[in-house]
Amino acid sequence: MKEVTLACEAFQKLLEEQLRRIANMNSEKVDFSAKETVTIGIIDGDGIGPMIMAHAVKVLETLLDREISAGSIVLKRIEGLTIENRLALGQSVPSDTLAQIKTCDVLLKGPTTTPMGGKMESANVTLRRELDLYANCRPVSIPEKNIDWMFYRENTEGEYVLGSRGVELPGMAVDFKVTTDLGTRRIARAAFEYAKNNGKTRVSIVTKANIMKKTDGKFTTIAHEVAKDYPDVTVDDWYIDIMTANLVNEAIRDQFQVVLLPNLYGDIITDEAAQIQGGVGTAGSANIGDRYAMFEAIHGSAPRLIEEGLAAYANPASILKATAMLLRHICRADAAERLEKALDSCKLTVDIGKATGAEYAEAILGAL
């Protein structure tokens, strides 16, 4: 059958690409403490992106004003990553935009819309692949409930990254999922290193290895191999279904510390965790690679907020938390701490009848 042959050819191409990806995986980590100039790319994104990004840029300019004047920090505006431009060019990340992005060290990025269906890949999937941003770190903290979670989500593999590479045959659609030794080893290493360096005593590995035997099975096996290098850290395994329940189980949820997961499960469960914290508008996210890193809100472009005329209530806390993570990543710990303290002490709630996003951002700037 011609369609089967075409599907097999598509699968072969995909396997060859993945093998090339593995071959190029190793790179050296950047030492930001020794770098003379750090270039921060500023990408507005779509929907509520430009609104919340405007607040984040003001905060960065305030915290880093002396370094910006001295030229040791450069804020570089990157244009072209709008849904209109991407659709017009038929590229998830236009080539000239990508070239600009690659001149930066780190990125602060607003959310980008991904059209449902069709062929267009998510801009995030493209950027994570092109910049090899393999660790998606998403903290969730609720001190009054003794919750302090850090999710380490693999960011370059799984079904998530091959989501636009499926094949269709008459009456049938097939997607693919990939898990590699090197890819799993490096995200597991990142999670255990985080635990070791931050006084955490437990890493929970979350998969669906009972069902996805090859891919999630590999993820679990390799994560346990890496764990052997961290004898002071307790390791436990959970399946993703019960883990979603665990996060709302008040009897045990405060015992979780670092959670290590493949891509799609990490994507889903971190929205749940963010909701427990106060909503996706309160959660930041870091996409870390060895060479590049990209910081953003956990959420999307919130088209419904725009359609309902409620964009003024887009919460900038998410992107401001990501901004603090960016500052830590580039070894500006004092600036990060100032921002974290301002965020922790802000008592405003962004919501109708309470505060707008702009009022919240003004309060943060005032506290700085």
* Residues at the site binding ligand NAD, with contacts judged by CB under 6 A: 48, 52, 111-114, 124, 280-281, 296, 299-305, 314-315, 318
Beta bridge partners of 140: 149
What is the CA angle 229-233-236, rounded to 5? Answer: 105
Nearest distance in Å: CB 285, ligand NAD: 7
Q: Residues 206, 261: contact at Cβ < 8 Å?
A: yes
Residue type, 292: Y
Residue 168's SS3 state is strand
Cα–Cα distance measured from residue 238 to residue 246, given in angstroms and rounded to the nearest whole number: 10
Q: State in angstroms the smallest separation of the CB of 292 from ligand NAD.
A: 16
Nearer to ligand NAD, 114 or 246 (CB): 114
Exposure letters 227-260 (e unless 16+ CB within 10 A, then b): beebeebebeebebeebbebbeeeeebeebbbbb
CB of 7 to ligand NAD, least distance (A): 26
Question: Closest separation between CB of residue 89 and ligand NAD, Å?
Answer: 17
**Rounded (10°) angle between helices 181-197 and 215-227:** 40
Looking at the Cβ atoms of 314 and 364, the one nearer to ligand NAD is 314
Q: Are 117 and 166 in contact (CB under 8 A)?
A: no
Residue nearest to ligand NAD (CB): 300
Question: What backbone torsions phi and psi does residue 202 show, to the nearest 5 degrees?
Answer: -145, 130
Tell the smallest beta-carbon distance from residue 315 to ligand NAD (Å).
4
CB of 293 to ligand NAD, least distance (A): 14
Tell me the closest approach of the beta carbon of residue 314 to ligand NAD, in angstroms: 4
Cα 291 to Cα 27: distance, rounded to the nearest angstrom:
7
Q: Which helix (H) or strand (E) holds 138?
A: strand 135-142
- Nearest approach, Cβ of 111 to ligand NAD (angstroms)? 4
The backbone torsions φ and ψ at residue 266, rounded to the nearest 5 degrees and listed phi first, read: -65, -40
CB 256, min distance to ligand NAD, A: 23
| CB of 61 or CB of 307, closer to ligand NAD | 307
Which is nearer to ligand NAD, 100 or 112 (by Cβ)?
A: 112
Whichever of 305 and 339 has its CB closer to ligand NAD, that residue is: 305
Nearer to ligand NAD by Cβ, of 111 and 183: the residue is: 111
Classify burial at 271, counting beta carbons within 10 Å of its beta carbon; exposed 0-12, middle 13-18, buried 19 or more. middle
Bridge partner residues of 107 (DSSP)? 41, 294
Nearer to ligand NAD, 114 or 204 (CB): 114
| Max Cα-Cα span within the chain | 67
CB nearer to ligand NAD: pick between 179 and 270: 270
Question: Smaller CB distance to ligand NAD: residue 85 or 255?
Answer: 85
Distances (CA, A) of 41 to 33, 47, 72, 251, 362: 18, 19, 14, 43, 23
Of 110, 134, 167, 363, the C-alpha closest to 263 is 134
Which residue, 9 or 307, has its beta carbon nearer to ligand NAD? 307
Least distance in Å: CB of 235 to ligand NAD?
A: 29
